[in-house]
Amino acid sequence: MRRVVLSFAICLCVSLPVEAQEGDAAAGAVVFKKCAICHAADTDTNKVGPSLHGVIGRTAGTHPDFKYSTAMVDAGAGGLVWDEATLRDYLHNPKAKLKGTKMVFAGLKDDTDISNLLAYLKQYSP
């Protein structure tokens, strides 16, 4: 009986972080309002910042018709591709992740907000 209880407890603990990382796209739409001043996600339109439509899987600094910072272009040339892990890291503190970026946003400190934002962006990515 102890083994069954212990196994259940371990499975529960192991699965919790995965569920917490999944995110809620509807809540992410609310978080995206902080980004929408400079970015679009539901359309492939550049604003002050590049379109985030299709950003997941995109090489950094490569969206057409957007003038990126040299740092962002160099990061893409060096192999930076926006996946969930790299976006999560970048969104925590953009200037720390990519020195020389033009993005002035200070970042999102709440992991749940980032998970929700990523769930929202996934809707608009291949």
pLDDT digits (tens, 9 = 90+) for 105-125: 999 999 999 999 999 999 999
Alpha carbon distance 24, 74 (integer Å) = 32
- Tell me the two tokens of residue 48: 């002050």
Alpha carbon distance 24, 31 (integer Å) = 10
pLDDT digits (tens, 9 = 90+) for 44-92: 999 999 999 999 999 999 999 999 999 999 999 999 999 999 999 999 9
Among the listed residues 101, 77, 24, the one whose alpha carbon sits nearest the alpha carbon of residue 89: 101
The answer, as to whether pTM is greater than 0.85, is no
Alpha carbon distance 17, 67 (integer Å) = 37
Torsion sign across C-alpha atoms 39, 43, 47, 52: positive
Strands (E), the chain: none
